[in-house]
Chains A and B, each alone.
Chain A
Amino acid sequence: QKEVEQNSGPLSVPEGAIASLNCTYSDRGSQSFFWYRQYSGKSPELIMSIYSNGDKEDGRFTAQLNKASQYVSLLIRDSQPSDSATYLCAVLGGASKIIFGSGTRLSIRP
């Protein structure tokens, strides 16, 4: 079992709709969770972090964490073509080790 799992996609969402990206992790002791966005040919950049159960909102982005289910999600409201990218889920484990999922490719269709 991979430590951090994501569906690879591609996930195709119409412009203006809500995009929902999911991630599961195996280490029940993990405390910190992150979503990075990576445009084609570019390096990943952090867009959201979440540390406690529940929702965290930042503009059009909402991160959701359920530690009991070991599940993290990212919702993107009012999806725009500029949101088309690969979204990487990351988990901070022991000794500052940060593990990434394989990423979900999101495509917003006009």
Chain B
Amino acid sequence: DVKVTQSSRYLVKRTGEKVFLECVQDMDHENMFWYRQDPGLGLRLIYFSYDVKMKEKGDIPEGYSVSREKKERFSLILESASTNQTSMYLCASGSLGVGELFFGEGSRLTVL
């Protein structure tokens, strides 16, 4: 079975802290994605990557950065967390050019 593992299910951070969310997939997928999900807004794409060291901005990249040093690992970084970044963060992976995504269980981040 495809497995996408997110490092933390629940995090509580303070405003201004640096936050790392890590995602690892075991299917050798080229594509990896970070979304955030908020009530009424659905899944919004933050960043995606189609290859090691490659990244593309999604619809809401402001306040976030990403890192993909290895094919299986895609990290989302909040340089200075703010309360409006309180959300559920979902990582997903998929094969290049194919729209079937496999999602991790999500990381619920609360910024106080």
Question: Are B42 and A98 touching (Cβ within 8 A)?
Answer: no
Q: Closest chain B residue to A42 by CB distance?
A: B105
CB–CB A88/B43 < 8 A:
yes
Question: What's the minimum C-beta distance from B52 to chain A, rounded to whole angstroms?
Answer: 15
CB-defined contacts of B27 to chain A, threshold 8 Å: none
Chain A residues numbered 1-53 whose CB sits less than 8 Å from any CB in chain B: 6, 8, 32-34, 36, 43-46, 49
Which one of A32, A43, A90 contacts B105 once the chains associate, using CB atoms below 8 Å?
A: A43
Q: Which of B57-73 contact A (CB under 8 A)?
A: 58-59
B38's nearest neighbour on chain A, judged by CB, is: A102
How many chain B residues touch A (Cβ–Cβ < 8 Å)?
A: 26
Contact B101 A98 (CB under 8 A): yes
Across the interface, do A96 and B96 meet the contact criterion of CB distance under 8 Å? Answer: yes
Q: Is the CB of B43 within 8 A of A100?
A: yes
Instruction: Kindly state the separation between the CA atoms of A95 and B31 in the bound complex, as whole angstroms.
Output: 10
Contact string against B for A residues 63-89, beta-carbon threshold 8 Å, 1 for contact and 0 otherwise: 000000000000000000000000010
- Point out the residues of chain B lying under 8 angstroms from A97, CB to CB: 45, 48, 56, 58
Select from chain A the residue with minimum beta-carbon distance to B6.
Answer: A43
Known: A97-B48, A97-B58. A103 touches B100 (CB 8 A): no
User: A20 to nearest B CB, angstroms?
Assistant: 19
Q: How far is the CA of A108 from the CA of B103 in the complex (A)?
A: 25
Beta-carbon contact of A102 and B41 below 8 Å:
yes
- 5 additional A-B residue pairs with CB within 8 Å, beyond A92-B98, A96-B48: A44-B43, A44-B101, A44-B103, A92-B97, A98-B99
Q: List 5 A-B contacts (CB under 8 A).
A: A44-B101, A97-B45, A98-B33, A100-B42, A103-B42
